[in-house]
Structure 1
């Protein structure tokens, strides 16, 4: 009986942990990337990548610790800001794109079109930092 009384709080805690929803990062879907160039100079990483997002795919919600800029090579990028879950840009072939940095600018890029989206993206980041930090969906009705 004493064992049962001691075990009951542990069982309750385990059930509560199992039933409590946890926030999980939203990984990209249908995304591939290849590094075109990479260099580190004076504690700063310079990386250029070609990113492809398949139709219906997305980057997942994320933010960048450094500067990001790019150009759309094929397809159309629909870009959303987490603040109000609204489209904050639609980018077509030849359009440039820049993104603010820091955890205060959570965003997602989606390919809502019928063809693959291809972007060339440049990153200027503090050396050793990730190019992006994945975060949970901020409560938007998609992703």
Structure 2
């Protein structure tokens, strides 16, 4: 009886795995470290100041934030290195060098990825301006670009 029950469970799990709809998975970050420098809340808005470092990688596997969106606007400044910023149509919408500023708009229609395609660490200071309680970022699947 026990063997029959285990076989039924195994068959159910196998069928669920084979016939379940495919789920788009987020692209993972590589080589990213971050430190919260300061955070506060005013009214219904959270402000988080972070220092983000993206390590260099190889030419075919650079350090990356992975594809993601934000529920609020972000304002950043490159402290070191170079940030290459991609939007969801796979085009580069900016290459930012030391001293440059970047703004990332809020919303699920602004899927993007930041990459360090250089040979030295890229360091960015970022102010997140988010609805109270929102995550810093929402992971997104690769929108169809030939790179991850």
TM-score range, shorter chain: 0.7 to 0.9
Name the CA distance, whole Å, in 2 between partners of 1:15 and 1:61.
26
Tell me the residue number matched to 1:122.
Answer: 127
Q: Deviation string for 1:32-51 (max 9, x for gaps)?
A: 00000100111210110000
Aligned pairs for 1:53-132 within 5 A: 53-55=54-56, 56-82=62-88, 84-132=89-137
> Partner of 2:55: helix, strand, or coil?
strand
Name the CA distance, whole Å, in 2 between partners of 1:90 and 1:106.
17
Tell me the residue number matched to 1:140.
Answer: 145
Once the 2 structures are TM-superposed, how far is the Cα of residue 130 of structure 1 from its aligned partner? Answer: 0.5
Name the CA distance, whole Å, in 1 between partners of 2:29 and 2:15.
33
Tell me how large the CA RMSD over aligned residues is.
1.9
TM value normalised by structure 2: 0.84
Q: 2:15 aligns with which of 5, 8, 13?
A: 13
> Partner of 2:98: helix, strand, or coil?
coil
Q: Deviation string for 1:43-94 (max 9, x for gaps)?
A: 2101100000000200000001001001000000000001x20101000000
Once the 2 structures are TM-superposed, how far is the Cα of residue 14 of structure 1 from its aligned partner? Answer: 3.1
Gaps of at least 5 residues in structure 2 are: 57-61
> Partner of 1:121: helix, strand, or coil?
strand
Once the 2 structures are TM-superposed, how far is the Cα of residue 23 of structure 1 from its aligned partner? Answer: 1.4
TM value normalised by structure 1: 0.87
Name the CA distance, whole Å, in 1 between partners of 2:45 and 2:17.
46
